Amino acid sequence: MIQVKKNTRRLVILHTIIMVILAQTACTDDQSQIERIRNRGNLRVAMIATPPLYFPDESLIKGYGYEMAESYATSLGVDLEVTRANTVQEIITQLKQGKAHIGIAGNAPGHTDDNIETETTYNNNEWYVIGNRENKLPKSIEDIIPSTIIVAKGSRPALVLKKLKTAYPSLFWLELPGGNTRQVLEQVNLNNFKLSVIDADVFTYYRYLYPELKIAISLSNQYPSHWMTHKNKDTSISESIKKFIEQYKNSGKLDKKYNTYFRHMNVFNYIDSLHYLRRIDITLPKYMPLFKAAAIDNEFDERFLAAISYQESHWNEKARSYTGVRGLMMLTLETAKRVGIKDRLDPEESIMGGAKYLNILKSSLAEHIMEPDRSWMTLAAYNVGLGHLEDARVLTEKLGDNPDLWIDVEKHLPKLSQKEWYSKTRHGYARGHEPVEFVRRIRRYYDILRLYQQEELLEKLDKPLELDNLQLISPAL
């Protein structure tokens, strides 16, 4: 009798457990995909690791694609989890395997996979045929010699060429299996291959790393950026993305974020780029340990300090200006005394002194100014002074813009040189255009240095180039 009761009790407990599991399963099955993402607390995004879409390193900025995805994750109340991809095809594979909820590849033509949904588009962009500046480059598609264009297999440039084929039936090109756009650009920069295809966004950044690249032809068709999802009867994530992107565009955030990544990169100087790359390779290693030490002590990115020093002295420890500022960080006597530096020509003292002074300025800014705007405003204060920066922020707010965003403040800083404006400020006249250009130059040097180091890292993760397995492509129309 006792044994029967024990067995009955066990059956009751087992039945209860089974019912709970079934109830939980039923509850999960009833949930939409968006609800499941919220319950799990993370949004998985597959993204191509090319600037300015995504910088997969620890730094002040992560890329406008990343920041857009991060804003979307925040709107859902979840964390963002990004996985790196090399090509559109890799993203599609991750979506089909359920490893990613969303794929972001930048601007490209629509793909032909029936299992993949293309979400709301944004940011139409130009595409170029590019080549090495040492060569005579074609002026039209008709001038392109067959099989002189190389792209990575499964990449966005490969999709563009397939679209282009409909208008130019004689177009043939080579596809590199297992490769990526960055590797292809390097090969063209080395003049190992004649031509490739690239979008304007990526070219804007990579031309600084590969300065031998030059635009040969601007293609007539522009293509938008869009997110990708796995096609499903459950449309909750598609509806959510559409609503978010429309709000993001209508609020002006998209335009501001896009301009933030391009305004400082739109001036390209071939000679300056060559000189900077040589200095990064030859001169910077001598000083990088000092930049790292100063960065750790003052909570900066060492590449940020290195970029400031290059703008100030071109990493010349004996540098001196007509105004008397000296050393790697070009410190004034007053600033050197303030931060306890005795010898401005000593590299270690100069770098540490400059970092300390930057930290003082950064700490003096309003607490609610967030990164990376906080760092850009610190640079402006380093150049023009905290007082004039604050005058510009006051003007920015009075004129209806956000005084905590550098992209808004830099619009109004030049007004400090105009009497109708500086006469109304606390600190008066300033050459307001100078800090704007100062910040743009340093940001440009910073991004190039980050890109240079990022490529060194990514090269170690790349598969070896399969140049012996190049595939001649000419898809049927």
- pLDDT tens-place values along the chain, 477 residues long: 444 445 556 555 555 555 544 444 444 457 899 999 999 999 999 998 888 899 877 677 789 999 999 999 999 999 999 998 888 999 999 999 999 999 999 998 877 788 998 888 998 999 999 999 999 999 999 999 988 999 999 899 999 999 999 999 989 999 999 888 889 999 999 999 999 999 999 999 999 999 999 999 999 999 999 999 999 889 999 999 999 999 999 999 998 888 889 989 988 999 999 999 999 999 999 999 999 999 999 999 999 999 999 999 999 999 998 888 999 999 999 999 999 999 999 999 999 999 999 999 999 999 999 999 999 999 999 999 999 999 999 999 999 999 999 999 999 999 999 999 999 999 999 999 999 999 999 999 999 999 898 888 777 777 788 788 888 887 755
Residue of 463, 411, 350, 446 whose CA lies nearest to 61: 446
Is residue 71 assigned to a domain? yes
Is residue 244 assigned to a domain? yes
CATH number at residue 71: 3.40.190.10
Domain region containing 170: 125-224+466-473
Same domain, 317 and 442: yes
Domain count, the chain: 4
Is residue 402 assigned to a domain? yes
HSE (CB half, 13 Å, CA atoms) of 294?
27
- Whether 312 is a known active-site residue: answer yes
Same domain, 248 and 278: no
Is residue 421 assigned to a domain? yes
Distance from the Cα of residue 23 to its chain's centroid = 44
Same domain, 377 and 427: yes
Query: Considering 250, 265, 280, which residue would you say is the last residue of a domain?
Result: 265
Contact (CB, 8 A) for 329 and 309: yes
Contacts of 304 (CB under 8 A, 6+ apart): 60, 295, 375, 446
Are β-strands 102-107 and 223-230 bridged in parallel, bridged antiparallel, or unpaired? antiparallel
Are β-strands 173-176 and 471-473 bridged in parallel, bridged antiparallel, or unpaired? antiparallel
Spell out the alpha helix ranges (H) of 210-346: 236-250, 253-262, 270-282, 284-298, 302-313, 333-338
Rounded to whole angstroms, the maximal C-alpha distance in the chain is 105
Find the catalytic residue in 312, 317, 349, 410: 312
Residue of 134, 114, 140 whose CA lies nearest to 190: 134
CATH number at residue 416: 1.10.530.10
Is residue 460 assigned to a domain? no
Contact (CB, 8 A) for 104 and 65: yes
- Looking at residue 10, its pLDDT comes to 58
Mapped onto helix, strand or coil, the DSSP state of residue 191 is: coil
Query: Considering 246, 265, 284, which residue would you say is the last residue of a domain?
Result: 265
Peptide bond into 372 cis (omega under 30): yes
Same domain, 235 and 94: yes
Mapped onto helix, strand or coil, the DSSP state of residue 324 is: coil
Is residue 400 assigned to a domain? yes
Cα distances (Å, whole numbers) of residue 363 to 358, 366, 377? 9, 8, 11
Contact (CB, 8 A) for 413 and 422: no
Contacts of 32 (CB under 8 A, 6+ apart): 234, 236
Same domain, 294 and 323: yes
Same domain, 347 and 248: no
Same domain, 230 and 317: no
Q: And the tokens for 329? A: 């960080």
Query: Considering 236, 265, 294, which residue would you say is the last residue of a domain?
Result: 265
- What is residue 415's DSSP assignment? G
Write the single-letter amino acid at 10: R
Are β-strands 471-473 and 127-132 bridged in parallel, bridged antiparallel, or unpaired? unpaired
Contacts of 395 (CB under 8 A, 6+ apart): 412, 415, 416, 421, 425
Is residue 461 assigned to a domain? no
Same domain, 176 and 201: yes
Same domain, 405 and 293: yes
- Looking at residue 1, its pLDDT comes to 47
Same domain, 319 and 206: no
Is residue 312 assigned to a domain? yes
Same domain, 175 and 237: no
Indicate the Cα dihedral angle 274, 276, 280, 283, nearest 10°.
110
- Looking at residue 20, its pLDDT comes to 46
Tokens 């100014």, located at residue: 369
Residue of 383, 438, 131, 440 whose CA lies nearest to 267: 440
Tokens 């979840």, located at residue: 78
Same domain, 201 and 75: no
